[in-house]
């Protein structure tokens, strides 16, 4: 027969729905043979499934491999198949109605993209490490499978390889046989779960062990990083999270063990493989970190654990309901942490996370929380601030709206009803409605099935609070909001909390009676709502004078967050934000607020929202202020880390760069601050980019001192920072041509390529960037092309000409770029949206 063969590594929803009507009760038996220092590995996979005849005459089995050696169907060797680049196509006439068994032996090549079956070589000790990463559509890089979430299966894995390696899977070993330097491990057959949750991690990992009740806990990292691992802290987070979640969900941890493995060159923060979570090594802290960074790591640990229930035990049917995994994990991780003792202020930090959602939701590429996903590329595209953070915020709003007891009871019922099954939006809505006694469908239409963010404005008029709700920019939608507000009275220069009320806003306006003497109101205290809050000129005058007198740190955080949104919407001057930060923000005693909402935003303003003239004014002021603050002997180590970050990123003038040089050579020092390896590389990159006379000898010495893989990647970043045309050209060739280097290595070079002070040198790469885009996004994997598109976009070129260039490029490729690869089109539209936001802010400064 003639087979219809895919030309792209994509699975469409239509094909997946057809296939799930044909294939049932699937199981895999997989044998892998791994060799040391090999580019390839051997595999044998038995796929068993029940088949219901139908479809277009062929059955697609997703599979990317170098070579197939033999295929046996139902006990007989067969050649009645076609092998495409991305799948095997079976003739349906050779399949039985009922049970079928397909056996395939093959040779495959390790990946170097961070996904699939990725292999890493550690330059420090020569050891090799391998890990899998499959979301949303990469399991078929390791073994032939029906690679879609609603064809769940069990898996029996046997691995043969060097006995010096550790082998970590979704289950524990059942049998182990050692033969000289070689070991064969047969793992227990797994529970039923989706293909993208399969895991195998291999290498000479260092292991730490603990238990939570009867659940074995493991932590792993590669040997050269073991000295940095703070396993006791991570186990404490793990035990607290598991106890909180089991209690809140009223459903025990569903799997037999819980391993957490920190793997090299991981593309995401972490991945929730059943019983074997993989994490980026960025979470192995090699130097001192801020409290907020420890909280973020704890949140990632808890987030992945929530997935053991939301995503692994109960999985969305198709990727349009990705939010059933990610929104729940995103919210309930912060919520669970807030109920513990280690990070009880976690919900305050969720407000920082929501900035991702606010930004994403104001792009013209935004999508509903319950989104469409025509194929796996769009599914990957939807791994964004909407599916994670906006969905999490909507769930927090729902919990506040219906009450925690109803919300919690519905979750417990959801797990009991749908364990090891797949669900849709309707399943969630029906179980929430029946449990709460409230029609959640109406709520869903407003919050989960629409786009955009509302803005609230308020004023005090004759003792009443009057609130105006503005529709989102794209669709002018007005929603129902359940939130709190807190009123303050003025006592001298202080704002003293006076009252807190809950209010339902159901329309364009709402009112509430205030207590006498209420002079200032903060809307959405405790952040139950997903909404922007803007302040009037009168309120801003009060805030400038008295913001720091508000005792509640969460309220101060919300105020600073609103000011930042107003800057982005051109409703508050970026220079006024900086000045306000200098005048009152520098006295902020909550260091996470100081860092996340004041210093980080000032650095963003300097980078993005200032004209060149204003940048040359403000950078030296900020640098001098940072240096003054660093000189205070009473500062804590965490404060010093924050101020050093500002000092480093505002170093512009020769004496400022000389001071960085003095810090790295030790002729100058800062109390309570170590110039650690990360800071050393970042200083060298900046000195190199600015053409400092001592940059080259420092660079040569540092390469000799730091032989780690991260040292090699940072060295490439410094190479890319060189203000020399030959260096730029060499790096550009590495970025645009097929390379033996990993995606992660090249990503570091991309970070160092663009510097605003190198505009003339970089000018030719504007056109070359656009010339390379289609080839990169067509020929390279999604992780590489995404890194290329975002890191190498010339952010320094904030001009009307750049906006016109993007729009012309899109217009030449169909209707607004419709002929371009979907991820490329989205990236360019969002860059254009950013410029449309930035240019009026810059123009206003020039006026």
Catalogue the active-site residues.
Answer: 304
Measure Cα distances from 11 to 142, 221, 384, 417, 742 in Å.
16, 33, 20, 29, 25
Q: Is the dihedral of CA 588, 593, 597, 600 positive or negative?
A: positive
Upper half-sphere CA count for residue 397 (Cβ side, 13 Å): 26
Q: Which residues partner with 217 through β-bridges?
A: 210, 258
Cβ proximity of 490 and 545 under 8 Å:
no
Tokens of 455: 């803005």
SS3 58: strand
Query: Exposed (0-12), middle (13-18) or buried (19+): which is 219, by Cβ within 10 Å?
Result: buried
Q: How many helices (H) and strands (E) does the chain have?
A: 28, 29
Specify the pairing of strand 153-162 against strand 23-33. Answer: parallel
CB neighbourhood size of 213 (10 A): 10
Q: What are phi and psi of 81, to 5 degrees?
A: -155, 165
DSSP state of 320: G
Phi, psi of 149, rounded to the nearest 5 degrees: -65, -25
Structural contact between residues 168 and 205, judged by C-beta atoms closer than 8 angstroms: yes
Q: Can you tell me the distance from the alpha carbon of 561 to that of 559, in angstroms, rounded to the nearest whole number? A: 5
Run of H or E including 465: strand 464-470
Strands 258-263, 276-280: pairing kind: parallel
Q: Tokens 């504007």 sit at which residue?
A: 766
- 3-state SS of 404-429? HHHHHHHHHHHHHHHCCCEECHHHHH
Q: Which residues pair with 486 in a beta bridge?
A: 500, 522
- Residue 264 CB neighbour total at 10 angstroms: 25
Closest CA to 434 of 449, 412, 465, 461: 412
Peptide bond between residue 413 and the one before it cis (omega within 30 degrees of 0): no
How many CB atoms sit inside 10 A of residue 503's CB? 17
What six digits make up the tokens of 763? 């000018």
Pairing of strands 200-203, 128-133: antiparallel
DSSP, collapsed to helix, strand or coil, labels residue 137 as: coil
Q: Contact at 8 Å (CB) between 614 and 579?
A: no
Adjacent-strand bridge partners of 62: 87, 145
CA–CA gap between residue 657 and residue 662 (Å, rounded) = 9
- Our CA angle for 358, 363, 364, nearest 5°, is 145
277, 238 Cβ separation under 8 angstroms: no
Provide the token pair at 551.
């005792």
Alpha-carbon gap, residue 645 to 626, rounded angstroms: 9
Radius of gyration of the chain (CA): 28
- Evaluate whether 364 touches 833 at the Cβ level (below 8 Å): yes
Tell me whether the omega of the peptide bond preceding residue 136 falls within 30 degrees of 0, making it cis: yes
């Amino acid at each position: 027969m003639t087979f219809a063969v895919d030309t792209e590594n994509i699975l469409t929803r239509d094909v997946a729905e057809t296939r799930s009507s044909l294939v049932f009760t699937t199981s895999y038996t997989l044998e892998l043979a791994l060799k040391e220092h090999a580019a390839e590995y051997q595999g044998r996979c038995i796929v068993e499934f029940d088949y219901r005849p139908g479809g277009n005459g062929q059955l697609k089995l997703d599979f990317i491999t170098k070579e197939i050696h033999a295929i046996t169907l139902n006990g007989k060797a067969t050649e009645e198949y076609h092998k495409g680049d991305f799948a095997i196509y079976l003739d349906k006439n050779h399949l039985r109605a009922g049970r079928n068994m397909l056996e395939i032996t093959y040779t495959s090549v390790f990946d170097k993209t961070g996904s699939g079956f990725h292999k890493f070589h550690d330059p420090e000790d020569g050891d090799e490490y391998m890990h899998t990463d499959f979301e949303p559509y990469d399991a078929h890089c390791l073994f032939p499978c029906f690679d879609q979430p609603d064809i769940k299966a069990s898996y029996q894995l046997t691995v043969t390889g060097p006995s010096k390696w550790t082998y970590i899977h979704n289950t524990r070993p059942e049998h182990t046989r050692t033969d000289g330097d070689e070991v064969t491990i047969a793992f227990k057959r797994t529970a039923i779960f989706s293909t993208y949750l399969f895991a195998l991690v291999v290498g000479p990992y260092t292991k730490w062990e603990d238990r939570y009740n009867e659940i074995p806990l493991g932590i792993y990292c590669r040997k050269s990083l073991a000295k940095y691992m703070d396993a006791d802290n991570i186990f404490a987070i793990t035990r607290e999270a598991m106890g909180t979640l089991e209690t809140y969900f009223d459903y025990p941890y569903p799997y037999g063990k819980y391993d957490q493995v920190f793997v090299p060159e991981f593309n995401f923060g972490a991945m929730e493989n059943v019983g074997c979570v993989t994490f980026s090594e960025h979470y192995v802290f090699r130097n001192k970190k801020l409290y907020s960074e420890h909280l973020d790591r704890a949140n990632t640990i808890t987030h992945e654990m929530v997935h053991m229930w939301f995503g692994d035990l109960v999985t969305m049917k198709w990727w349009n309901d990705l939010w059933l995994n990610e929104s729940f994990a995103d919210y309930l991780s912060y919520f669970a942490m807030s109920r513990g003792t280690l990070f009880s202020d976690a919900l305050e930090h969720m407000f920082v996370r929501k900035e991702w959602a606010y930004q994403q939701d104001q792009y013209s590429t935004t999508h509903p929380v319950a989104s469409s996903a025509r194929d796996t590329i769009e599914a990957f595209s939807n791994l964004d601030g909407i599916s994670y953070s906006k969905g999490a915020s909507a769930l927090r709003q729902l919990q506040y709206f219906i009450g925690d007891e109803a919300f919690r009871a519905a979750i417990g019922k959801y797990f009991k009803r749908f364990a090891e099954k797949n669900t849709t939006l309707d399943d969630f809505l029906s179980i929430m409605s029946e449990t709460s006694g409230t029609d959640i469908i109406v709520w869903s239409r407003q919050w989960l099935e629409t786009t955009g963010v509302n803005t609230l404005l308020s004023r005090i008029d004759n003792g009443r609070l009057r609130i105006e709700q503005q529709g989102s920019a794209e669709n002018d939608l007005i929603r129902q909001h359940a939130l709190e507000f807190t009123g303050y009275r003025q006592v001298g220069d202080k704002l003293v909390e006076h009252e807190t009320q809950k209010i339902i806003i159901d329309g364009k306006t709402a009112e509430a009676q205030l207590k006498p003497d209420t002079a200032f109101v903060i809307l959405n205290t405790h952040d139950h709502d997903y909404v922007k809050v803007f302040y009037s000129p009168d309120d801003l005058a009060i805030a400038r004078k008295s913001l720091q007198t508000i005792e509640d740190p969460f309220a101060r955080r919300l105020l600073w967050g609103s000011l930042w949104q107003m800057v982005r919407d051109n409703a508050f001057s970026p220079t006024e934000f900086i000045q306000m930060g200098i005048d009152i923000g520098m006295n902020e005693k909550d260091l996470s607020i100081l860092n996340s909402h004041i210093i980080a935003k000032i650095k963003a303003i300097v980078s993005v929202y200032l004209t060149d003239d204003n940048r040359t004014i403000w950078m030296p002021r900020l640098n001098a202020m940072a240096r003054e603050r660093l000189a205070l002997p009473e500062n804590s180590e965490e404060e010093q880390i924050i101020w050093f970050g500002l000092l480093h990123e505002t170093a512009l003038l020769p004496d400022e760069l000389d001071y960085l040089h003095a810090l790295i050579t030790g002729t100058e020092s800062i109390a309570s601050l170590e110039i650690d390896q990360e800071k050393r590389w970042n200083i060298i990159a900046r000195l190199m980019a600015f053409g400092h006379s001592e940059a080259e000898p420092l660079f040569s010495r540092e390469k000799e001192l730091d032989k780690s893989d991260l040292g090699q990647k940072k060295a490439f970043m410094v190479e890319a920072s060189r203000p020399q045309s030959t260096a730029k050209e060499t790096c550009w060739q590495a970025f645009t041509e097929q390379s033996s280097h990993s995606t992660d290595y090249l990503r570091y070079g991309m970070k160092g390529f663009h510097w605003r002070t190198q505009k003339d040198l970089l000018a030719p790469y504007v056109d070359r960037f656009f010339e390379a885009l289609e080839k990169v996004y067509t020929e390279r994997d999604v992780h590489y092309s995404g890194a290329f598109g975002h890191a190498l976009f010339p952010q320094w070129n904030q001009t009307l000409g750049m906006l016109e260039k993007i729009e012309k490029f899109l217009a030449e490729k169909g209707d607004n770029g419709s002929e371009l690869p979907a991820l490329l089109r989205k990236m360019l539209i969002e860059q254009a949206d950013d410029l449309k936001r930035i240019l009026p802010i810059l123009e206003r400064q020039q006026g």
